[in-house]
């Protein structure tokens, strides 16, 4: 099922930003989060010898470092079939268990939407 057509324009925006980060940086995944004020934070995955962070973990860290106190939504663009538990945990830590996390494929089509507190 393609959930993209039913997306709120602000959610579609973070999916588009995540997709752009993935393509621009040539990384396996891109992510974007929207904080309680509507600001967005966009990141790609980080793979260094001493540091490995998923795109979503990086985007959440950027939000926290910029003073965000909560999240409204998060999006990941990846070829993965699910959203990693540690990624949902990072969103849950800042946004709470009900914060929606969207998973889209490289084409931008949303394949899955889960609350951060749910397994999937």
Q: pLDDT tens digits for 73-105?
A: 999 999 999 999 999 999 999 999 999 999 999
Please provide the DSSP assignment of 26-43 as one string. Answer: T-S-EEEEEETTS-EEEE
d(CA 65, CA 90): 13
Q: What pLDDT shows up at residue 110?
A: 95
Cut 0.75: pTM above it: yes
Average pLDDT, the chain: 93
Taking every pair of Cα atoms in the chain, the longest distance, rounded to a whole number of angstroms, is: 40
Q: How far is CA 18 from the centre of its chain?
A: 7
């Amino acid at each position: 099922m393609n959930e993209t057509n039913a997306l709120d324009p602000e959610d579609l925006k973070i999916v588009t930003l995540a997709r752009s980060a993935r393509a621009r940086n040539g990384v396996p995944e891109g992510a974007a989060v929207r904080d309680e004020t509507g600001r967005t934070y966009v990141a790609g995955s980080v793979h260094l010898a001493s540091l490995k962070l998923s795109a979503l973990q990086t985007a959440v860290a950027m939000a926290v470092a910029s003073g965000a106190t909560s999240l409204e939504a998060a999006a990941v663009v990846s070829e993965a079939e699910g959203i990693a538990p540690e990624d949902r945990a990072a969103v849950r830590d800042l946004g709470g268990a009900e914060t929606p996390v969207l998973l889209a494929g490289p084409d931008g089509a949303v394949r899955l939407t889960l609350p951060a507190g749910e397994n999937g």
